[in-house]
Structure 1
Amino acid sequence: MPARRAEPAVRQVGSRLLLALAVLVATSVIVYLDRAGYHDNAGGELSFLDAAYYATVTLSTTGYGDITPYSDSARLINILVITPLRVLFLIILVGTTLEVLTERTRLQWRLNRWRSTVREHTVVIGYGTKGRSAVDTLLGQGVKKEEIVVVDPQRKAVEQASQHGLVGVVGDATRTDTLVRAALPVAARVVVAPERDDTAVLITLTARQLNKTATVVAAVREDENAPLLRQSGADVVVTSSSSAGRLLGLSMLSPHAGAVMEDLLTYGQGLDVVERPVTRAEAGHGPRDCADLVVAVVRGRRVLNYNEPEAAVLQLTDRVIVIRATGGGA
């Protein structure tokens, strides 16, 4: 679940253990300084080890009775000093235990509540460079953080996603149980962005088996693996290496065209490519009559270029893919 700004649990437990140890040492020193007022059934004067033993059994309320205070000063110190230290010692130990149990209960309650309410969300598999960029774009497009679930085999990556306010699942995404924990069967969108192409194929197969209707977008490094991913059930396949190579070649031939393409690919800066519904004012008109620059028309499950005859007249049920300046309204 999304991390809350709090002191790490290990640090909390460590600091409390040090405090409990400090109480134990302080009690041992107090008893040792007043050792003449204590009686040991084993005979002889109390050593520091005996004082530490008495402090341990006293603070833990074990109290074997083999070492007892008999002088008035020793008994008074037990009443006024050691008894409050005993209470403090117990508060530290019991408080730590209760807090751990309470935190576990609270986390389990949040997890159960999330599982019962999450629907139509987006599952991002792989929180590397591609996965993080996909999440940033989704957030820029208005998707809420609580509607995004990150799956990654690296605990460090999932903790990073949790710190950013996202729900994270640690595990192998090729396994069904991992994707079920991410509630993928009820997800609306799945982004497959692992480091290896063969892993992407296995994840896509597993995801499509669990969810027949979700939109699955997968990233691969090599073009030759793209058809295999489509056969595995991916709706859209993005080839990262060839796309980068084409952008490099375009930038070499025309640096300005390359800069424009880079601008279009970088969401939130300069120009953005967005998909939006056709407005009532635009219905019945051509793509060139829209305020935004229309590059394609989405009609049903088909994507029509703006200059195709079928796209000459926009319908109210259509959606258009447009290029607009950053921050432009819908």
Structure 2
Amino acid sequence: MDAVKRLFLALALISLLILVGVVTFIYLEGFTPLEALWLTVASLSTVGYGDIVPHTDAGRLFALFLIAGGVGLFTYALGTIIAIVVEGHLTNVLGRKRMEKKIQTLQDHIIICGAGRVGEQIIGRLKKEKAPFVVIDLDEDKLNHLQQEKIFVIQGNATEDATLARAGITKASGLVTSLPDDSENVFVTLTARGMNPNIKIVSRANLDSSTPKLRRAGADKVISPAIIGGRRMAISILKPASVDFVETLMYDSGLEFEIEEIRVNELSLLVGKELKDSRIKQESGVMVVAIKRQSEEVIHNPNSDTIIQMGDLLIVLGTRKQLELLEKLAAD
């Protein structure tokens, strides 16, 4: 049990003891509620009695019980409060409460389940892209570190409905589950799909045998870090220059060029035009490297006579300024 839960438990017990004391003194001594409250608090705090004292043997015995119980509970509560203040829990708790209120206002955000080694890479990329996201993890130290970086966090088990609800699962556009245990990733995927049928789910798989299970559970994409890492190592030894270029292009935050996905709006002037007549290159300067149709068909390195259709996803390469020009062209 963490320090905050211990504190709430101590306060609840003290409140219950005060209530019992008031009711009992009214019954045994015939005091008014205010007199009974005064005598109860005086007993619990061991400050001594004034003009109000118990007169019956039963009342005196009960007062002794209150004194013994009060000293123990107050010591426990005080020690817990000191622990919270010293360890910085109080600030974190208050910050988490405010943060969870902000999380409930998010729309179309991404939920990351797991802040381990894989999760850290996902968080870093989403931060670079300035995408709204929430991180779920059980490790309080990791979450405290992320919270200091102004990242939205939820402490809890991502396999539980309540935890996903706190992260705004019903309003999220995507979920990435990168937990080290495949069975937990399956459970998170299944739960998330049930709570939000339209959410896009990307799941981590450590074993090849887990991939079909994750797909059956509802994952749109299953990624195996081990397989991807092995393939990249093989290509790096065979074609090092090409791999270095692609990695620099995708991961170097200081590089001017970026890869982006841009959706063609139904009202866009690009709809129905051949790529050579679209003036994408002339007006924005970007290079179209692939087109993904709504039918999931992907056209790699499209020809100049490829016709742009409504809803196409253009995968392009260019500077941020060029990409902004194309985004406006695709939307207008």
1:207, distance to aligned residue in structure 2 (A): 1.2
Residues 204-238 of structure 1 deviation map (CA, whole Å, 9 limit, x = unaligned)? 11111111101111122333322221111111122
Q: Is the 8 A contact 1:299 1:318 kept in 2?
A: yes
The equivalent residue for 2:244 is 259
SS in 2 for 1:313: coil
SS of corresponding position for 2:209: helix
- Residue number among 120, 132, 139 corresponding to 1:132 in the alignment: 120
**Offset at residue 247 of structure 1 (A):** 0.9
Structure 1 residue 256 displacement after superposition: 0.4
Provide the rounded CA distance (Å) in 2 between the counterparts of 1:323 and 1:258: 17
Which amino acid in structure 1 is aligned with residue 262 of structure 2? Answer: R
Note the alpha carbon deviations across 1:87-134, whole angstroms, 9 max, x for none.
xxxxxx9xx99xx9x979966873574365233221111112222221
Task: Say if 2:270 is the partner of 1:276.
Answer: no
Tell me if the contact between 2:99 and 2:152 (Cα under 8 Å) persists in the aligned partners: no
Name the count of aligned residue pairs: 240
Report the alpha carbon displacement of residue 327 of structure 1 after superposing the two structures with TM: 6.7
Gaps in structure 2 of 5+ consecutive residues: 5-44, 51-77, 325-332
1:146-161 alignment to 2 at 5 Å? 147-161=132-146
Using the size of structure 1 for normalisation, the TM-score is: 0.61
In 1: Cα distance, 2:154 partner to 2:312 partner = 36
Deviation at 1:137, TM superposition (A): 1.7
Q: Secondary structure at the match of 1:276?
A: strand
User: In structure 1, what is the Cα distance between the partners aligned to 2:167 and 2:232?
Assistant: 35
1:299 paired with 2:293, answer: yes
Aligned residue number for residue 185 of structure 1: 170
Residues 155 and 301 (structure 1), Cα distance of their counterparts in 2 relative to 1, 3 Å cut:
farther
Aligned alpha-carbon RMSD (Å): 3.8
Q: Does the residue aligned with 2:107 lie in a helix, a strand or coil?
A: coil
In the other structure, the counterpart of 1:110 is 98
- 1:321 corresponding residue in structure 2: 315
1:194-273 to 2 correspondence within 5 Å?
194-266=179-251, 268-270=253-255, 271-273=257-259
The correspondence for 2:156, drawn from 167, 171, 194, is 171
Q: CA 1:134–1:115 in structure 2 vs 1: closer, same or farther (change >3 Å)?
A: closer
Q: Does 1:285 align with 2:274?
A: yes
Residues 77-96 of structure 1 aligned to structure 2 (within 5 Å): none
Q: Output one character per residue of 1:49-88: Cα deviation in whole Å (capped at 9) or x when no partner.
A: xxxxxxxxxxx994889xxxxxxxxxxxxxxxxxxxxxxx
Amino acid at match of 1:312: T
Aligned partner of residue 117 in structure 1, secondary structure: coil
Q: TM-score, normalised by structure 2?
A: 0.61
Distance 1:303 1:252 in 2: 31
Q: 1:242 Cα deviation (Å)?
A: 1.0
Q: In 2 relative to 1, CA 285–139 (structure 1 residues): closer, same or farther, beyond 3 Å?
A: farther
Give aligned-pair identity as a percent. 27
The amino acid that maps onto 2:139 is: Q
